[in-house]
Amino acid sequence: MNYTETKVSMKRPKGVVSHVDLFAAFHRKYLDTLLGRRAENKQKAEAERNAILDANARGEADLLTAVFVIGGFLALMFFFLLIAIERHQRKLASD
């Protein structure tokens, strides 16, 4: 009794990638994109945070300057008021 044995091996056609390899490539690409965007967002948030802190520091200095200017103006006006009262009193005393 003669018989013929045929061996068959499963091979993909040229250019076809295994589903495992394809999923691994997609997953790697997803993770690379995710990590890249996280790094960009972190840098952007850090830059915005530093800009806000710088603006706060400048604002505090500007506010302190404004308080000194207003205080100086009020002190000057108080002295002008004292001079005006004194002149008024001299005028009344001379009459």
What tens digit of pLDDT does each residue of 8-53 get? 888 888 889 889 999 999 999 999 999 999 999 999 999 999 999 9
The single residue listed with the structure tokens 């790697």 is 28
CA–CA dist 67, 51 (Å, integer): 24
Q: Contact, 12 vs 18, CB < 8 A? A: yes
Q: Is the pLDDT of residue 81 over 90?
A: yes
Q: Is the pLDDT of residue 80 over 80?
A: yes
- pLDDT for 47 equals 97
The single residue listed with the structure tokens 């706060």 is 56
- pLDDT for 11 equals 87
- pLDDT for 32 equals 98
